[in-house]
A and B are shown apart, each in its own frame.
Chain A
Amino acid sequence: MNKKILALVLACMMTLVACFAMAETLTVTAWDPNFNIPALEAAAADYKAEHPDFELVINTVSGSSDVELAMTTAGSSGDYSTLPDIVLFQDHYIQRYVADYPDAWQNLEGAAINWDDFGAEKLSYSTINGTHYGVPVDNGTAIFAYRVDILEQCGYTLADVTGITWDRFIEIGEDVWAKTGKYLLSMDGSGNDLPYMMLQAEGLSQFKDGEPFIVENEAMVQIISKLVEMIQKNILFLSNDWTGYTDGSIMGDQVAGVMNGNWIIPTISQVADNSGKWEITTLPTLTGAEGYAANGGSSLYITANCKNPDLAKDFLAKTFGGSTKTYDAALRDGGVITCCISAGQSDVYKEGVPFFNGQPIYSDIVEMGSHVPIVEQNDYHYTCRQYIGAAIQEILMGSDVATALQNAESQLRFAMDL
């Protein structure tokens, strides 16, 4: 009899414990084991210090496209029960996914986050109709990293390449190629990051009032012409794909300059021999003003399937919402740089980085991030980039700039059903 009661009590307790444990567990889906996964682990450890029962289950997928696939399939079948509590989502797509699948998300109203502490450009992605949906994780601020030793060899300093026009950049690039045989820049021909970033540095977008802004866009025409000129003069190396860009051009030590979102830094740092030879600065522009742009970056979003949104909000607010502890560890373990302005002023951020010649690049990047102009976004961001890339290929194969861009614009208009 007693035994039976004891067993019953034990069973009840175990159920309770199980329920309790369940309540303190969150699942999250993310994709890069060398980048954002360590950041999430850092946040989990940070939160666990205060809440010992907390458990963060991280589901790793092969890329951001897998998260999008999961949202699309769940949204199209109207069944959100397969989603994790939180997803890491690419900034450029989120507006579309919130518009298409409004029931798939939970907003962050009521979360204890000081939104003013984040860069406005970054928040412009995750804020939809004035409502916050995402907590920023990494910072997509674009940097231009130069091999200062090579510049010096050719008679230039970092100051000589800061706040210059693209024409001046081409002159220097020709010089560098002639003297060292290295490209001053490289680009992934299938991803086409550069045109978008160069345009944003001018304060412009590939879209205007929801329509493609390519042929009529004077700056775009100039930028494409400059890029083609750079490729033809061996200033810009155009790779076939992403691997050719990272492994071939950057890790293969073929370039003296890299312009991309700052998440490219871990790739640059892979070549240990070049430690101390790199420094970063702002981007060239058409006018010669210092250019600021952002590329990539993602934020964390709570899905409709999260049974305990209060816990999720509290977790996000107390970690990526501004915790120096989380961000310092994320920087150390994954090279993830915050867009939270106050977190970017910690001692860890202010330290000089030996690989970059002692330059405190992290606080510099956070500072640069606050200058990035907000430009018009569109759901067809990547489609547009793809067609612009195709236009560059066409020009290289002999087509003229106007025709190629006209093709790109009409194909994009077709894709957008305009």
Chain B
Amino acid sequence: MAVVNLKKRQIECKVVYYGPGRCGKTTNLEYIHKSFKNQVMGEMVSINTDGDRTLFFDFLPMNLGKVRGCDLRVQLYTVPGQVRYSSTRKLVLRGADGLIFVADSLEVRRKKNMLSLIDLQQNLKEYGVSIFKVPLVMQYNKRDLSHENISIMDLKKMEHDLNRQLKVPAFPGSALTGDGVGKALHACMKLVMQAVQSELS
């Protein structure tokens, strides 16, 4: 849930990167932290969770305009996928204003993508949020691997696997090279902005 901070005239909201382990959530965040330095506020917090890292930092997006005279301030998170990290997941996912689902383009991760998406739906449901209503975009990550002759799924297949019922904006990308990272984040924040706006009016 977006929080209006009247002291700073900012609307604080939360965008969470979700996806199967090793899909590139942290790489996404690291790229953003590195490349959009002037919009990043403060240090990146990195917690080593088993098999994955949990990252967090504050982000002040530009060129998005204001809502009722307030700037948007975004907290970017990744969330550890394993079942045991339920408290962390709860803190991160509860009240998330926007989500970016990072799917792995590797053929061998096909099943993991689908399981993770279902997992996301179930987690959101626990906090009374419908995956069909929350601002959500997809990023089909690791597209750069095709240049290295590693077999990846074509976009149509991924769209069919993951986005058929949801029909949310989806972007091919590579968190390693930065392709599509900004686009996905921007699209998600635009959706968040619209949601905040319609909530306030």
Co-assembled chains A and B: no
